[in-house]
Homo-oligomer: A and B are copies of this chain.
Amino acid sequence: MSLDTRLSGILHVLLHMAEHRGPVTSEVLARAMHTNPVVVRRVMAGLREKRLVASTKGHGGGWTIACDMERTTLRHIYEAVGSPALIALGNRSERPTCLVEQAVNAALDETFREAEALMLERLGGGSLATLSADFHARMVEHGHSIDHHHHNHSHDPEHST
* Chain A residues near B (Cβ < 8 Å): 1, 3-5, 7-9, 11-12, 15-16, 32-35, 74, 84-93, 97-108, 110-112, 114-116, 118-119, 122-123, 126, 131-132, 134-135, 138-139, 142, 148-151, 161
**Residues of chain B within 8 A of A4, CB atoms compared:** 1, 88-90
The reply to whether B1 and A85 form a contact with Cβ atoms under 8 Å apart is: yes
Offer 16 A-B interface pairs, CB within 8 angstroms, sorted by A.
A3-B85, A4-B89, A5-B91, A8-B90, A8-B92, A8-B104, A12-B98, A74-B107, A99-B135, A99-B150, A100-B149, A103-B135, A104-B131, A107-B126, A111-B122, A111-B123
A34 touching B89 in the complex, CB below 8 Å, given contacts A8-B104, A99-B139, A119-B111: no
Contact B138 A92 (CB under 8 A): no
